[in-house]
């Protein structure tokens, strides 16, 4: 169980973006340099963030990205969903007729994984970009 770097980078980049977008659009190049994330990889990630209406792009020189919503309304769950970070812990489907392991019944730990997923998702749903911004200010030197 681990988070993939795509989801992690997405959050890092958005926090970075949120700290600067009041004044000007922020270029991926800047984010890349500040956060140490490959520019090409960032482009892939922002392509998805844009499709999911989390950011807007502004083209041309001095262009870049800006948030498309209030930081308070961007929950972590939105971000992860946008970059295809799956929180599914187990592949047994809820509605599958055949049950989990090819048998007729649900596997004996099925309920557990459902519960775990809910637990994790709740955490992500309650956490917004705004929370991270505040948190970061507190711990900055």
Partner DNA sequence: TCTAAACTTGACCATTTTAGTCAGGTATGT
Partner DNA sequence: ACATACCTGACTAAAATGGTCAAGTTTAGA
| Binding flags for a second copy, 57-96, as an x/- string (CB under 8 A) | -----------------------x----xxxxxx------
Q: Please give the residues from 34 up to 63 whose contact with a second copy meets the rule CB under 8 A.
A: 35-36
Residue 129 touches which member of a second copy, DNA, none, C-beta under 5-8 Å by kind: none
Tell me which H or E stretch contains 13: helix 5-20
| Binding flags for DNA, 26-45, as an x/- string (CB under 7 A) | xxxx--------xxxx-xx-
Q: Nearest Cα to 10, choosing from 53, 41, 56, 51?
A: 41
Q: Which residue has the tokens 């999911």?
A: 52
Instruction: Give the burial string for 72-88 (b: 16+ CB within 10 Å, else e).
Output: eebbbbbbbbbbebebe
Contact 64, 27 (CB under 8 A): yes
- Radius of gyration (C-alpha) of the chain in whole angstroms: 18
Which residues are at the interface with a second copy (CB under 8 A)? 1-4, 7-8, 11-12, 15-16, 35-36, 80, 85-90, 101-103, 105-109, 111-113, 116, 119-120, 123, 127, 132, 135-136, 139, 141
Which residues are at the interface with DNA (CB under 7 A)? 2, 4-6, 25-29, 38-41, 43-44, 46-47, 50-51, 57-65
């Amino acid at each position: 169980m681990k988070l993939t770097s795509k989801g992690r980078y997405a959050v890092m980049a958005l926090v970075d973006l949120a700290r600067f977008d009041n004044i000007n659009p922020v270029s991926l190049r800047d984010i890349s340099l500040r956060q140490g994330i490959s520019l090409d990889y960032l482009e892939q990630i922002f392509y998805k963030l844009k499709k999911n209406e989390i950011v807007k792009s502004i083209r041309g020189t001095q262009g870049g990205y800006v948030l498309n919503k209030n930081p308070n309304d961007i929950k972590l769950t939105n971000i992860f969903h946008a970059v295809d970070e799956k929180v599914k812990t187990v592949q047994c489907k809820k509605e599958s007729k055949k049950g989990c392991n090819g048998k007729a019944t649900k596997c004996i730990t099925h309920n557990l994984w459902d519960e775990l997923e809910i637990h994790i998702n709740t955490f992500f749903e309650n956490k917004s970009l705004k929370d991270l911004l505040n948190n970061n200010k507190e711990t900055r030197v």
